[in-house]
A and B are shown apart, each in its own frame.
Chain A
């Protein structure tokens, strides 16, 4: 079973920020939090990852709760190209990876 839980779907208006939540209450000290997204007919695309501190890159920001039991992926300005399924996964040093069903994000023009 997946070690993370996410809402099945979310909607956002174009050019507005989007906050995608993820719960991982059983996270261990060695688990990294990774986010991927998948567009139709494509393989998953890496978005961002972190361990304890918040992270920023050109695609998104990752906010990690102090107790690490939850995290939020932040897209600062949603575009139509951001419509995808977003996966939050935990990844240990041995690389055991379990994907859940993810969050299907719709962006409304």
Chain B
């Protein structure tokens, strides 16, 4: 039990589909993150939310649209994705965005784009 739950665990979608990834944390944390992990590449930070406000957007294409309705939930809305977007998408949370705060990760959503 990691305290960070991601659904679905696996998702296959066509390039014209629209889908959403969901992340929920039960740790009372105020910061949440989306990461992308492609095969044989390091984790890439995509978005950071602190107290439901986006504080970091690392030049992510607009076909990825995050949403943080409250401090416990984080979504990643997907539309018109490309084959190179196939990857493991990881959600994480931390008490706040301070450097001394460890991040707690979910087990990710494995996304495959047909």
Contacts and interface: CB of A to CB of B under 8 A. Distances in A.
A93 B45 contact: no
Contacts of B106: 43
A94 B98 CA distance: 6
14 contacts: A2-B42, A30-B99, A42-B107, A43-B92, A43-B105, A43-B106, A46-B104, A51-B100, A91-B99, A95-B55, A95-B98, A98-B42, A99-B45, A100-B42
Interface residues of A, number: 27
Interface in B71-114: 90, 92, 94, 97-108
Interface residues of B, number: 25
Given A2-B42, A98-B42, 8 more contacts: A32-B100, A44-B105, A49-B100, A92-B99, A94-B97, A95-B98, A95-B101, A101-B42
B43 A95 contact: no
A96 B90 contact: no
Contact of A95 (B2, B31, B90, B105): B31
Contacts of B99: 30-32, 91-95
Contacts of A96: 45, 56
Contacts of B98: 93, 95
Nearest to A31: B99
Contact of B102 (A41, A46, A93, A94): A46
Shortest beta-carbon contacts, A-B, top 4: A43-B105, A95-B97, A99-B43, A46-B102
Contacts of A51: 100
Contacts of A102: 42
B50 to A, nearest CB: 8
B21 interface: no
Interface string B47-70: 010000001100000000000000
A80 interface: no
Contacts of A43: 2, 4, 90, 92, 105-108
